[in-house]
Amino acid sequence: MMRLMANNRLKIMSIVGTRPNMMKVAPLLAELRRHNEIAPVLVHTGQHYDYSMSQVFFDQLGVPPPDYNLNVGSGPHYAQTAEIMRKFGDLVQKDRPDMVLVAGDVNSTIACALVAAKERIPVAHVEAGLRSFDRSMPEEINRILTDALSDLLFTTEESANQNLANEGVAPDKIFFVGNLMIDSLVRALKIARPSSLRCELGLRAKPYVVLTLHRPSNVDNEDELKRTLESIAEIAQRLPVVFPAHPRTARNIEAAGLTAVRAWKGGLLPSRGLWMMPPASYLDFLDLIQHAVMVITDSGGVQEETTFLGVPCLTYRENTERPVTVSMGTNRVVGCDPQQLLLSALETLENANHSQHRSARIRPPLWDGRTSPRIVSILKEAAQRDMACTEERVPQ
């Protein structure tokens, strides 16, 4: 049950830990700040901590510095989750919120939700109900457990509503509100500035492919990583493949001494080759994928962004927890076989008419850039209901 503080402001503590969290929470935090009856508090767990994966997103998304930074850093899943729980538990003893709002499926999400539940603090989960039905993925465990702990579940697509219903979640806890990632994307597109990165790469008027890989199942096994990158190097014989590499992936490539990848050192890209570069900023990355002929990824968020933008996307995984990206026709789940990836990519490059594909795109319901106001309205209504129930129980 939520409670109102002495000054009648509802203290909502929003959690971010990784760059996808920041893209989801940024527009919601801005909307929360527009309401005088809400006191928003931002906690950064520090799960992503370097500038390219963290601070640049605060800067470009217009998010003020977090009220608290737990500085947990990296580590094995169990150790990182435990450290977030320990530090967040200490925090809520000193500054107790009326609600904890978590987003997505990372370790910060489940850790803070579990602390809040044990402290009897209501939990709201943004991006609830998504399921890959593959429990070998750490994120799937995080999704299932966070949803089980949450009092308010905000969903992005109809499949998520059905998943929660199948799991026995009460209907009055589930709210289909749309996608906060799209709120951030719509706002970023309105900025409409030319990307200096595409200019530096020499790709302003040239076709190219974008690649992202970061999941441990794809990048931690040296032999599998080598086979994958060799197949992508074959694609790069047709068009340049731009590869903004997650730090974990870059370290594995360097440790393995893989020669299929060449590092971008500045200057214009040649017409062919697989080129690795540091992670791109949010605005530069959006500009890259918006103008790409094709995107290859194992990221859930990139599947959503390419769906909204109408860019052909090949998902290098055996499954997706975001089936709407497939049903909308922009995303294909091609599995984790490098040869199948190569065949699918060559087929996409040969058959896709880029301009016609985008003009005919269909966007999922409620992916309209207005998810933040819908969520805040529900949060306020929930607080008012709880306050009314409390007043009814108070002896007159």
In one-letter notation, the amino acid at residue 388 is: A
List strands edge to edge, sheet with 152-155. 68-69, 38-44, 10-16, 99-103, 123-126, 152-155, 174-176
Residue 82 has pLDDT above 90, yes or no: yes
- Top pLDDT among 104 and 74 is at 104
SS3 328: coil
Residue 5 has pLDDT above 80, yes or no: no
pLDDT for residue 229: 96
pLDDT for residue 84: 97
pLDDT for residue 163: 98
Q: Which of 35, 77, 214, 357 is catalytic?
A: 214
pLDDT for residue 391: 53
SS3 28: helix
pLDDT in tens, 166-183: 999 999 999 999 999 999
Residue 194 has pLDDT above 70, yes or no: no
- Top pLDDT among 190 and 185 is at 185
In the 8-state DSSP scheme, what is residue 14? E
Assign 356 a pLDDT band (cuts: 50, 70, 90).
low
Domain spans, the chain: 10-179+367-393, 196-359
pLDDT for residue 6: 42
SS3 274: strand
Q: Residue 241 phi/psi, 5° resolution? A: -110, 115
Q: Do domains 10-179+367-393 and 196-359 have the same CATH topology?
A: yes
Residues 6+ apart with CB under 8 A from 52: 247, 278, 279, 281
pLDDT for residue 51: 46
pLDDT in tens, 247-290: 889 999 999 998 889 999 999 999 999 999 999 988 899 999 99
Q: Please determine, looking at this structure, whether the domain spanning 196-359 carries the CATH number 3.40.50.2000.
A: yes
Residue 193 has pLDDT above 70, yes or no: no
Share of the chain above pLDDT 70, in %: 90
pLDDT in tens, 370-390: 999 999 999 999 988 876 665
pLDDT for residue 190: 83
Query: Can 214 be counted among the known catalytic residues?
Result: yes
pLDDT for residue 74: 81
Beta strands in the chain, from DSSP E residues, in sequence order: 10-16, 38-44, 68-69, 99-103, 123-126, 152-155, 174-176, 209-211, 241-244, 262-263, 274-277, 294-297, 313-315, 331-333
Look up residue 219 and give its two tokens: 């990048």
Average pLDDT over residues 342-348: 96
**CATH code of the region 10-179+367-393:** 3.40.50.2000
pLDDT for residue 43: 97
pLDDT for residue 195: 72
What rounded mean pLDDT belongs to the chain? 90
pLDDT in tens, 114-164: 999 999 999 999 999 999 999 999 999 999 999 999 999 999 999 999 999
SS3 176: strand
**The overall pTM is greater than 0.85:** yes
Residue 50 has pLDDT above 60, yes or no: no
Rounded to the nearest 10°, the torsion over CA 319, 321, 323, 324 is -150
pLDDT for residue 54: 52
Lowest mean pLDDT across 41-45, 109-113, 324-328, 349-353: 349-353
Task: Tell me the C-alpha distance between 287 and 193, whole Å.
Answer: 9
Residues 6+ apart with CB under 8 A from 21: 15, 103, 104, 106, 108, 109
Residue 319 has pLDDT above 60, yes or no: yes
Lowest mean pLDDT across 192-201, 231-240, 387-396: 387-396
